[in-house]
Structure 1
Amino acid sequence: MLKLNFFAVAFFAVCFLGSAQTMVTDRPDQTESSSTVNKGSLQIESGILLGFTEDDLSSERQLFAPTTLFRYGILNGVEIRVLNQFESLKDKNSLLKRNGISDLEIGTKISLLNKEHINTKIAFLSHAILPTGSKDLTNDKWGTINKFSISHELSNVLGLGYNIGYDYFGSGKGNLTYSISLGASITKQFGMYIEPYGELSDFDSYESNFDVGITYLLKDNCQLDFSFGTGINHTMNYMSLGCSILIERAEDTD
């Protein structure tokens, strides 16, 4: 009941409070934005995540520290992306612990629709997963992550974004994924979102989740974030802290 009451308060805050923020990031929510980094600019989005998952076979504690995404604008509406993270996983039942670097992800995001007089933006994102991780953590196969990202500006302070995607990790049928994020600027510095998300693993097993988060614009080019999430039809929870920095291209001078 306490969890439901919190989500109700969060929903009220997202819907009815706000004023505009300026920096657009792909964290901390699961929904990738439909915006790209400007040509010549570099955006670094990094964070720490503490998580816990449990099923019939295992009970695992997770530490991802840091998870870092580099986004660089190579053209107007086109960015290249590199993502990697350090992982520490511990199974409570077997006491088995695995530490190391995850498989490297390299990809791009391409803007498909971004016009001033239209409140809808659309982008396509694709990552290749390279089997470069530590021995105990690598998937040992090439994979891919793909998403269509769509967003709607509902008002000056309220926005709706959603992703539909397909992931393949080198075996099986792959996973269908979705996320829907409703976000608002509460003040010029503070933002908030609520988000259901999930996946249909191997076109067979469905997992549903929910998360909420806040962002704080420390400077025009620096944003802090906090989020936490939980599984709806399975045992999962996490808490995350992060920071994003935008390094913009210097303006040409005579």
Structure 2
Amino acid sequence: MKLILRFALVTSFIFSKINAQTAEPSATIDKSILQIELESLYTIQNEGSEKMNSWSIPSALFRYGLLNGFELQLNTPIIKEKLWKNNHLIHSLNKFDDIQIGFSMNLWKEKKLVPEASIMIRTIVPTDKKFKLAKIGEIVSLNFSNKISEKFSFNYNIGYVHETDNSKSGFYIANISYEANSKVHFFLENFGDFTQEKLISHNMNTGVGYNFSDNFIVDLSISKGVNHNMFYTGGIITWAINTKKN
């Protein structure tokens, strides 16, 4: 899975008015809410003699509650990349990466051991000059959440990605979140992607967030690859607007 797909799907803290996202949430945002998530990630990945630096500057995710239990989504990634080989710069570029357009829909509420659940489906539209319908991809994710106590929740996603280069893989995210108080929350998660043959990447991630208000949240996180040489750090600014009042 491309870096932007790996880390665009990375813990959700669910509040009554706003979702500060880092795993896809198990419930949609409220009707008539426009939620804007600006995410910037700096990633370093090493493979043999090659070193890749990637920076989203930033990427934007727009969510709109069209109906109760149904939201529209648009993700527009902007990426800066640098590739070194044997300590020599091979290429450096800024690019408008593949656009993701789709929706999320509530499936059912939590009941005892049965988790709250939603389904997310996005189409991946390539932005290169050689656009072809056959290169359109998709992401499908089932998103679940169990409330363990008043302060702890367990959030998890399992999904499938068909990329624009026709490669296919699955992904998972398992997250424990802790709400220390009405302002501060923490999370610890494990995420990765896989094919039928192997586990491609396995990563550990941790972070903290602060609620400046009911509709403005900032989250910071760091991650380390477990089975590959990767490190990233980043943050998300989440802002929710009630369009009914405007």
- Normalised to the residue count of structure 2, the TM-score between the two structures is 0.85
- 1:204-243 to structure 2, matched below 5 A, reads 204-243=198-237
Return the offset for 1:48. Answer: 1.1
- In 2, the alpha carbon distance for the partners of 1:76 and 1:115 equals 17
State the identity as a percent: 25
- In 2, the alpha carbon distance for the partners of 1:58 and 1:187 equals 44
Alignment gaps of 5+ in structure 1: 1-19
Q: Aligned letter for 2:122? A: H
Alignment gaps of 5+ in structure 2: 1-13
Against the structure 1 CA distance between its residues 171 and 131, is the aligned structure 2 distance closer, same or farther, given a 3 Å change threshold?
closer
- In 2, the alpha carbon distance for the partners of 1:57 and 1:175 equals 26
Q: Aligned letter for 1:148? A: L
1:130 aligns with 2:122: no
Against the structure 1 CA distance between its residues 221 and 24, is the aligned structure 2 distance closer, same or farther, given a 3 Å change threshold?
closer
Query: 2:39 touches 2:58 (CA, 8 Å); kept in 1?
Result: yes
- In 1, the alpha carbon distance for the partners of 2:15 and 2:168 equals 36
- In 2, the alpha carbon distance for the partners of 1:73 and 1:118 equals 27
Bigger Cα displacement from structure 2, 74-83 vs 140-149: 140-149
- Corresponding residue of 1:166: 160
1:52 aligns with 2:47: no
Q: For 1:103, which of 95, 98, 107 is the aligned residue?
A: 98
- In 2, the alpha carbon distance for the partners of 1:200 and 1:118 equals 27
- In 2, the alpha carbon distance for the partners of 1:170 and 1:47 equals 22
Q: For 2:24, which of 25, 28, 32 is the aligned residue?
A: 32
Bigger Cα displacement from structure 2, 154-163 vs 56-65: 56-65
CA displacement, residues 83-139 of structure 1 (integer Å, 9 cap, x when unaligned): 012111001225111211111100110100126888731000011000125x69xxx
1:149 aligns with 2:143: yes
- RMSD over aligned CA atoms reads 2.5
- 1:57-96 to structure 2, matched below 5 A, reads 58-93=50-85, 94-95=88-89, 96=91
- In 1, the alpha carbon distance for the partners of 2:147 and 2:18 equals 13
Q: Aligned letter for 1:199? A: D
1:188 aligns with 2:182: yes
Against the structure 1 CA distance between its residues 118 and 24, is the aligned structure 2 distance closer, same or farther, given a 3 Å change threshold?
farther
Against the structure 1 CA distance between its residues 197 and 123, is the aligned structure 2 distance closer, same or farther, given a 3 Å change threshold?
same
- In 1, the alpha carbon distance for the partners of 2:141 and 2:122 equals 9
- In 2, the alpha carbon distance for the partners of 1:187 and 1:21 equals 12
Query: 1:119 touches 1:154 (CA, 8 Å); kept in 2?
Result: no
Against the structure 1 CA distance between its residues 21 and 109, is the aligned structure 2 distance closer, same or farther, given a 3 Å change threshold?
closer
Query: 1:159 touches 1:183 (CA, 8 Å); kept in 2?
Result: yes
The answer to which structure, 1 or 2, has the higher relative contact order (CA under 8 A, 6+ apart) is: 1
Q: Match of 1:37, SS?
A: coil
Return the offset for 1:58. Answer: 2.4
Q: For 2:108, which of 109, 113, 120 is the aligned residue?
A: 113
Return the offset for 1:66. Answer: 0.6
- Corresponding residue of 1:247: 241
Against the structure 1 CA distance between its residues 233 and 43, is the aligned structure 2 distance closer, same or farther, given a 3 Å change threshold?
same
Bigger Cα displacement from structure 2, 53-62 vs 121-130: 53-62
Q: Aligned letter for 2:108? A: L
